[in-house]
Structure 1
Amino acid sequence: MLALLACLAVPLAAKAPSKPVQLDQELYRTVIERVRGGENFYPATMAAQRERVYPVQPALAVRPPTMTYWLALLPSTATRTAALIVLLFGALIALRQSLSDRPPAEALAMVALAVAGLFGVFFPDNVYLHEQWSVLLVMLALTANRRPWLMVLLALLAVLVRETALAWLAAIVLAALWKRDWRLAGMALGAIALAGGLWLIHAQQVAAQVHPGDLTSPGWVRFGGLPLVIDALRRNLALTGLPGPLILALVAASLAAMLGWGRDFERIAAIGSAGFLAALTVFGRPDNGYWGFMAAPFVLLGLPLIVRQGLAASRGRTSAR
């Protein structure tokens, strides 16, 4: 389980500095095509990483096979991108429906802020980034909070795509314990245990494919601190270009508002995002800022709540006069 918890910041395979810059999307697309052609995932992945001079050990250097298997069912990048966009709009529709009891302006503002954190979906070839699929599954999970079994199932699937989603599955546990919802807490803890067991199987499969002389990752415990967090937060389009201190202030205020004034959706999103960002201060190299795509749709959802509270306070002062 300690290994799984370390996955809160598991990176893409590291690149050797002496080689030209390579896109990880190219690696994952190559593996998908090989699997679609009939090859086994683990030999195909290890071979593709060796060809690009990527480390193949420890097991954290090799992504789990979930995304590869389902994208291999689709024949081309175009169809895979279409599937991702369908999932995007499904997640946004679910988000809007979960906010149906909010004032329309507040609900639309929250959807817009979430969209600002999902713009990476529209970049060419980002369909091959695990973060893009996993974060949408997390969003679907959090909007399904009235169906606990579905919320846990979708959160588990998000973890099986990208291990960093564990932050939000753990947040479901914490929120359930706070509410004394023992059933939900038990289901989420069971999902974490299942994810841990499946990851150990993944690690064994990777270890079985390692050859003498294979590259080993230099590791990800770098204590990058707030600079890496700021870089990650800029994956929300609304924060791109802002100075670092302002980004931190806005996100801190937003997360606090979500915890204080939000409902289950916002609270779980805030706890998961805070845990993920805290992990980034320890785990991750300077080039891993794109991990921030996992938290980008959630970190500003508290801003409309702050506006609502401010307007309510202003009306209260006016009526008191």
Structure 2
Amino acid sequence: MPAPLSCPVPPPPRAIARLLLAATMMLIAIGLLSPDPPTTRPAATAASGDAALYRAIDRRVAAGQHYYAATAAEHRTRDFPLRPFVAVRLPTRAWFYRLVGAEGALWVLRALALLAALATACRLRAAVGPRLLWGAASAIAAASSLPLATAVVALWPECWAGLLVALSLASRDRHHWRVAALLGLAAALFRELALPYLVAMAFAAALERRRGEALGWAAVATAAVAALAVHASAVAAILRPGDAVSQGWIRAGGWSFDLAMAGATTPLALAPTAIVAVLVPLALYGWASAPGGYARRVTLTLVTLLLPTLLIGRPENSYWGLMLAPVWLAGLPLAFTAMVRAIAPAATATRQLAVAC
């Protein structure tokens, strides 16, 4: 009898599944017992703060002013920091707005959000068994991606980068990774916070002994670092003595800050904090327990971006969650089947012991 052409990837062993479930319960407990951190949602600062800054820079750039000169002028006017260089956003979004206009950019973002939602739904099909759960996961992915394509949220580079990361994850498979790598590079050019994603993808390919793919992801990561170095040099050229310095980002907000990012940027924005504390760990558990390379890479991406924010990030930086928002909660339906696999064997053993006694 000929061997089948393909076979499904098995789920994690039961011991690992139970370990993941125990870690999930611990995260839920930590979230429920932690104090609620203050959050600032992107939409809440549409008329001031970062949104007003981005709009003012866009107007200057559209009028023909050099991006870095425009940025320096607006930062100084509003007493925004120019040091260190990462306090100044990469010019990609502002240049794109000048090229196609604000309305054109919004339509491009809408198309990107739709593509990310559809591609994520297609890839979820292999990770979710029952059709009902797949439909639920796809609906969550759509509800997480499509609302990001609004005029206000579009001002945040993290919104563009997050959707590009989601599309990159969904477009990569064992035979096609180059387009995914280019999408990942585009994400890092919008926001340098996507750099760890490129490294994570290179690491995943190296673990699977896919040398060519690992080198490809390493190459785009190197290109992103080079672009960031050029940006740092350009910012240094506009600095003056007395320019404001950032108060820093080391705040050790811990798991509470990660939950605040989810609460600020996902469909959980209106949910009570206790619900957020329960559902976010379950979504991570669903991704971590699902079989296949796609779920494994989504998990690695989530972990790579969430671990640093245990230490880095001020409460007002909760919009960083836009980097993960398109895929974050789609793991919730995956958690259902994972919990059944982890708990059912234990329940069966308990019943057998009871009968024997």
Which TM class, normalised by the smaller chain length? 0.7 to 0.9
1:138 is displaced (CA, Å) by 0.5
Greater shift in the superposed pair: 284-293 or 88-97: 88-97
Secondary structure (helix, strand or coil) at the match of 1:118 reads helix
Q: Distance in 1 between matches of 2:252 and 2:147?
A: 26
Q: Deviations over 1:75-113 (max 9, x none)?
A: 3x3333222111111211222233455543233222222
Preserved contact between residue 61 and residue 98 of structure 2 (Cα < 8 Å): yes
Counterpart amino acid of 1:48? E
Preserved contact between residue 32 and residue 72 of structure 1 (Cα < 8 Å): yes
Q: Distance in 2 between matches of 1:160 and 1:133?
A: 10
1:117 is displaced (CA, Å) by 2.9
Preserved contact between residue 233 and residue 239 of structure 1 (Cα < 8 Å): yes
1:269 is displaced (CA, Å) by 1.5
Counterpart amino acid of 1:113? I
Preserved contact between residue 72 and residue 238 of structure 2 (Cα < 8 Å): yes
Q: Distance in 2 between matches of 1:127 and 1:313?
A: 40
Match of 1:238 among 268, 271, 275: 268
Supply the RMSD in Å over aligned alpha carbons: 2.6
Q: Distance in 2 between matches of 1:129 and 1:287?
A: 14
Q: Distance in 2 between matches of 1:217 and 1:310?
A: 44
Counterpart amino acid of 1:125? V
1:188 is displaced (CA, Å) by 1.1
Structure whose alpha-carbon radius of gyration is higher: 2
Counterpart amino acid of 2:181? V
Counterpart amino acid of 2:335? I
* 1:293 matched residue in structure 2: 322
Normalised TM-score (structure 2): 0.76
The number of residue pairs the alignment matches comes to 298
Preserved contact between residue 255 and residue 270 of structure 1 (Cα < 8 Å): yes
- Name the structure with the higher helix share: 2
* 2:91 matched residue in structure 1: 65
In structure 2, relative to structure 1, the CA distance for the partners of 1:162 and 1:262 (3 Å cut) is farther
* 1:84 matched residue in structure 2: 109
**1:19-98 counterparts in 2 under 5 A?**
22-75=48-101, 77-98=102-123
Match of 1:140 among 145, 167, 175: 167
In structure 2, relative to structure 1, the CA distance for the partners of 1:312 and 1:52 (3 Å cut) is same
**1:1-321 counterparts in 2 under 5 A?**
22-75=48-101, 77-101=102-126, 103-118=130-145, 120-146=147-173, 147-234=176-263, 235-238=265-268, 240-244=270-274, 247-309=276-338
Q: Distance in 2 between matches of 1:163 and 1:314?
A: 40
1:136 is displaced (CA, Å) by 0.8
In structure 2, relative to structure 1, the CA distance for the partners of 1:252 and 1:95 (3 Å cut) is same
Q: Distance in 2 between matches of 1:67 and 1:57?
A: 20
Q: Distance in 2 between matches of 1:242 and 1:270?
A: 25
* 1:5 matched residue in structure 2: none
Gaps of 5+ in 2: 1-46, 353-357
